[in-house]
Amino acid sequence: MKPKYSIHETGPRIEQFLRQVIDNAGFALDFTLEAGDQSNPEFETPDLVVKFTGEDVDLILSNRAELLLALEHVSQEALRMHSDDHSRIAFDANDYRALRIEELRMTANVAAGKVKSSGQPFRFAPMNSRERRILHIALRNETELRSESSGSGPYRGVIVYPIGMPSLPEAPPPPFRPSRFGRPPEPPGSDRDRDRGRRPGGDRGRGPRRPR
């Protein structure tokens, strides 16, 4: 069966977009496009895999490959892919995806053991839809348990229940916290303005402007 996204047809569009992103961001990265990796067909069967190499590979793999997955997502958006097709194109580096699949499978087995012994549900940390699917598949043959996704947006995760236990209420999203890249601006005249020696709504350390 012919893949929906091939190196010949889709590859040049991905390459053009990624080259621009990498150059503009100043990353020390290179990449190759390969036919889909079928090493874990039960969990993932992508049509196309983009594999990164270079000095900044550790950077894109930090924080559970946060930047790698972000690059994957924006590339899929640039290609105008339907969300149902997102699993058909995968980004990888240093075999991260295969290692992550194995990690999730082991974690699912540990969670299953805890739920069976305690009789209490187990809630995983929020994760993307592809990783949630891996957990569901890893647990699908359990006869004493069931798994379901709960939450919305970036806070959506998987909960494992003893069979027959009703679902927990949806947890509210955590309170807003300022970004690690900086706090949102505060209105003129705030305490922070005064603490920093600024005139309300004005510039720090500058006297009154002279009329021109």
- End residue of a domain, out of 65, 94, 123: 94
Would you say residue 18 lies in a domain?
yes
Residue 195 lies in a domain: no
Question: Residues 107, 151: one domain?
Answer: yes
pLDDT digits (tens, 9 = 90+) for 105-139: 999 999 999 999 999 999 999 998 889 999 999 99
What's the domain range around 153?
A: 99-162
Examine residue 78 and state whether it is found in any structural domain, yes or no.
yes
Residue 4 lies in a domain: no
Does 136 map to a domain?
yes
Structure tokens at 25: 């961001």
pLDDT below 50 — which residues of the chain? 179, 181-212
**Residue 50's closest CA among 78, 82, 26?**
78
Indicate which CATH number applies to the domain containing 19: 3.30.300.20
Number of domains, the chain: 2
Full-model pTM: 0.70
Element (H, E) at 196: none
